Amino acid sequence: MEKAKYSYKYPHPSVTTDCVIFGFDGSRLKVLLVERGVEPFKGKWALPGGFLRMDESAEQGALRELQEETGLKTAYIKQFHTFTDPDRDPRERVITIAYYALVRLQDVVAGDDAARAGWFSLDEVPSLAFDHDRILRTAIQEIRRQIHFEPVGFELLPPEFTVKELQLLYEAILDVKFDRRNFYKKMQHLELLTQVKTSAQERRQPFLFRFNAAKYSELKQKGFRLEF
Amino acid sequence: MEKAKYSYKYPHPSVTTDCVIFGFDGSRLKVLLVERGVEPFKGKWALPGGFLRMDESAEQGALRELQEETGLKTAYIKQFHTFTDPDRDPRERVITIAYYALVRLQDVVAGDDAARAGWFSLDEVPSLAFDHDRILRTAIQEIRRQIHFEPVGFELLPPEFTVKELQLLYEAILDVKFDRRNFYKKMQHLELLTQVKTSAQERRQPFLFRFNAAKYSELKQKGFRLEF
DNA sequence: TCAAAAGTGTTCGCTATACACCCATGG
DNA sequence: CCATGGGTGTATAGCGAACACTTTTGA
């Protein structure tokens, strides 16, 4: 068997990374899916992913996948679960280390992969290949949990944004509604936002803000909680 | 090469599960460690763990490790992170799927493994083999986070316990102090505890409680938060 | 007899929540 | 001129934190 160059005394599973890439279009949370070009599940939509290389960590692998699909070299990514069901891949034993990524849609460029790719609203996601439905559901759960401890929302917005945009994002992620005025005051009180000075503001426009990273890391050290 | 029976076209990493087993002795949080009997790191303390079998999920593997070390067939276990640094094992590429387990110390029986094992208080843990120091630190972080969403504490206590014991446990996990009276009232208010009726209570003893699982699942569905 | 432990109460301040008001803009 | 959107204000209820009181137990 010429091709099988790597031999082990005991069987080893294959290891992949899968990446749940989230974006925000201004009103809804989106997820990036790719269409499978090969069997199994050929023609079905799936999460971007691939085999882990022997010289890279799983995080590096996930970042590599991310760049292949979105052109982004950096992004917020977080490992959230490893899926190990022995039968999750019909071909052979494959375990996958799953990450979710938060990207700014406007920064994304079309992937150079041949595979067809597309952004789907969370309530329009089709049935996915392998156990990717479950992986996606778990990712949504995790991002909803994470949002209480970290301002994950900011990773999905452009550098400058209005409070209304931020609120829409939080509502999209958590699938709830907030009172506009209370949300505004809470953000003011947290002091996480810095108002952008717009010198020549002829027309009355909503204030633009930036995320105050210094204040955030200070709060995080003390152990804060974003209540919603 | 007779021994190497399993061959692949591409290199595959080894996959192990490691288990951070927590117990509570009434005043301090403990973790179970085993002494390595073989190189590398022979003689050093490490987390219990082992290779993943091809026919079991990682969770089953972690439960198997748990039983080998503690005799427990069931316990609360939770996967919290997968460690994939290419150099984390000096022999070959090994990734490990890490779980933490919460067990009742009084239910634990000595492991039948030859390896020496011992319970260590968190502030007395020696330097560990591989990257297990980091794994343990991450586990502690995760349990502290998890305690806000799930009453993980109850898994560490006997079926019946006093409020004081519960408070000591929370204080040990979170490394904080609570006001005894406020803690008591909070627990009363949450209605998570059911008082055990002790018929012949001649002497004045602290009330014994049981964890009210029904109330908990009801609360969890609504999305509750244990604030501390 | 006295200190420690355990159950119960009270007060204060913060904040989540609900809802009102004012002003500028643009049709 | 008026509907809409955006910034600011106010009142209330609930809860967390701080702290007092009382009783029982065992040394």
**DSSP label of B89:** S
* Closest nucleotide C1' to the C-alpha of B205: C6
Distance in angstroms, CA of B228 to C1' of C11? Answer: 21
Q: Where residue B220 falls among pLDDT bands split at 50, 70, 90? A: confident
Whether any strand C atom is under 7 angstroms from the Cβ of B26: the reply reads no
B218 has a pLDDT exceeding 50: yes
SS3 readout for B91-144: CCCEEEEEEEEECCHHHCCCCCCCCCEEEEEHHHCCCECCCHHHHHHHHHHHHH
Predicted confidence at residue B19, as pLDDT, reads 98
Round and report the angstrom distance from CA (A184) to C1' (C19): 15
What per-residue confidence (pLDDT) applies to A1?
Answer: 46
Task: Give the whole-angstrom CA distance, residue A148 versus residue A226.
Answer: 5
pLDDT at B106 > cutoff 60: yes
Nearest CA in chain A to B5: A9
- Per-position pLDDT tens, chain A of length 228: 456 789 998 899 999 999 999 999 998 999 999 999 998 999 999 999 999 999 999 999 999 999 999 999 999 999 999 999 999 999 999 999 999 999 999 999 876 666 789 999 999 999 999 999 999 999 999 999 888 888 888 899 999 999 999 999 999 999 999 999 999 999 999 989 999 876 555 556 889 999 998 888 887 776 666 766
What's the pLDDT tens digit per position in B182-205?
999 999 999 899 998 765 454 557
Q: CA A87, CA B44: separation in Å to the nearest integer?
A: 36
Number of other residues whose CB lies within 10 A of the CB of residue A135 = 23
Q: Among A53, A57, A82, A97, pick the best mutation site for testing chain B contact (most B Cβ within 10 A).
A: A82
| Alpha carbons B157 and B106: distance in angstroms, whole number | 9
Q: What backbone phi and psi angles, to 5 degrees, belong to A219? A: -65, -40
User: What is residue A170's predicted lDDT score, i.e. its pLDDT?
Assistant: 94
Q: How close A10 gets to chain B, by Cα (Å)?
A: 6
CB contact under 8 A, B86 and A4: no
pLDDT value for A96 = 98
Asked if strand C contacts A204 at the CB level, meaning under 7 A, the answer is yes
- Work out the number of other CB atoms within 10 angstroms of the CB of residue A42: 10
Q: Calculate how close chain B gets to A228, using CA atoms only, in Å.
A: 11
Of A121-130, A146-155, B66-75, B170-179, which range is least confident?
A: A146-155
Record the pTM: 0.93
Distances (CA, A) of B98 to A99, A172, A205, B139, B222: 16, 32, 50, 8, 29
pLDDT at A203: 54
Rounded to whole angstroms, the Cα distance separating B87 from B95 reads 10
What pLDDT is stored for residue B153 in this prediction? Answer: 84
pLDDT at site B17 = 98
Mean residue pLDDT of chain B comes to 90
Question: What's the CA A17/C1' C27 distance, rounded, in angstroms?
Answer: 53
**Interchain pair A9, B4: CB under 8 A:** yes
Cα torsion A67, A68, A71, A77: sign: negative
CA(A222)–C1'(D5) in Å?
Answer: 36
Interface test mutation site (partner A, options B7, B87, B228, max chain A beta carbons within 10 A): B7
Peptide bond into A11 cis (omega under 30): no
Residue A162, Cβ density class (10 Å: 0-12 exposed, 13-18 middle, ≥19 buried): middle
Closest CA to A77 of A111, A106, A48: A48
Chain A residues near any Cβ of chain B (below 8 Å): 1, 3-15, 51-52, 54-59, 79, 81-82, 84-86, 93, 95, 97, 145, 149
Reported as a single tens digit per residue, the pLDDT across B76-101 is 999 999 999 999 999 999 999 999 99
Rounded to whole angstroms, the Cα distance separating A58 from B95 reads 9
Position B210 pLDDT exceeds 70: yes
Q: How far apart are CA B140 and CA A15, in angstroms?
A: 26
pLDDT of residue B114: 64
Question: Is beta strand B45-46 parallel, antiparallel or unpaired with respect to B29-35?
Answer: antiparallel
Contacts B78 to A, Cβ<8 Å: none
